[in-house]
Amino acid sequence: MERAEVLKRVIGILTEAQDIRRAVESGQDEDGYGDAHGEGDGPDATAGVATTLLNEILPSISVPADASPQQVAALVAEALGPALHTMVSGFSLAFTSLAIAHDSGRTDVTSIEVLQELALEVEAGTYDEGA
């Protein structure tokens, strides 16, 4: 999965979490929420979206049967490192964008709008590696 796609999926996870929180705070029943989004009910829906992302970005790992624990650790770190780095970068970028809007006292924009703007910037290539 390309970096931009991972960043957009991370933004989607955060947006979904906002939707779930708003539904819970407004007292919407679980069945109404789950049916409307097709992702299940409540917080489990966000867990499902996050699990799907992990399943899509994490590579499979082949470990020789006679590998030592140190070799297994090295293989796992080598295989998972880049994907996890990209995902953590996405959450960090989203957090930073939200924090900047908050710290600057912006009341004219919601957190969802900040995330939507970030998604547009990612789509435009603003955060491509080497850009």
Query: Does 39 score more than 50 pLDDT?
Result: no
Q: Distance between CA atoms of 38 and 41, rounded to whole angstroms?
A: 9
Mean pLDDT across 22-31? 73
pLDDT score for 119: 92
Can you give the pTM of this predicted structure?
Answer: 0.71
Mean pLDDT across 5-34? 78
Query: Does 51 score more than 90 pLDDT?
Result: no
The three-class DSSP label of residue 65 is: coil
Instruction: Identify whether the C-beta of residue 10 lies closer than 8 Å to the C-beta of residue 56.
Output: no
